[in-house]
Amino acid sequence: MTETHTHAPPNDEIGPRGDLCTRTIAMPADTNANGDIFGGWLLSQMDIAGGIAASKVARSRTVTVSIDAMNFRKPVYVGDLVSVHANLVRVGRTSMTIHLEAWVVRRRETKPILVTDGNFTYVAIDEEGRPQQIQREEPLTA
C-alpha cells in the first residue's frame, strides 16, 4: 500500500463513523480558565482511543508520532458524555493513520454532536521500543 497523507474529511454530522473506542464524562477538573473543557484533555482522550485502535490493528505496542488536521469544531462542557470513534485511514509498513472523531451528548439531549476530529499517526513498536512491521491490515469499522 502506498503511503499518502489524507486530511480530515468534512463531516456531514449525521453520526459517528468508525469503531467506538472510549466513552467518558467531562468533569469539572477538566476545565480551562473559561469553564469549558480543556482542549488538551479532549486531545488526550482521543489519543487514548487511537492507541487502543492502533494496537488492535498492529497486534503490538504502538506510539503516537503525529497529529494532523485537528478540527476543534465545538466546545465540550462539564457533564457532556464524550465518545471517541476510530476509522483506519492508511496502513504502511510500520505506521498507520487513524481518523478520530470525538462526539458528545449534552445533558438533557439525545442527539450526538461532533466536537473534534483529526488524523493521528501511530508506529508499531517491539518490546525494545523499535519500530516493527505491521503484520496485518484490519479495517476499523462497525
**All domains of the chain in start order, with CATH:** 31-125 (3.10.129.10)
Q: What is the pLDDT along the chain (142 residues), one digit of tens a residue?
A: 444 444 445 555 688 999 999 999 999 999 999 889 999 999 999 999 999 999 999 999 999 999 998 999 999 999 999 999 999 999 999 999 999 999 999 999 999 999 999 999 999 999 999 999 998 655 555 4
Strands 19-25 and 113-125: unpaired
* pLDDT confidence of residue 80: 97
* pLDDT confidence of residue 114: 97
Say what the pTM is.
0.85
Show the cell assigned to 42: 479532549
**Would you give the DSSP letter of residue 138?**
-
Q: How far apart are CA 136 and CA 68, in angstroms?
A: 24
Show the cell assigned to 142: 462497525
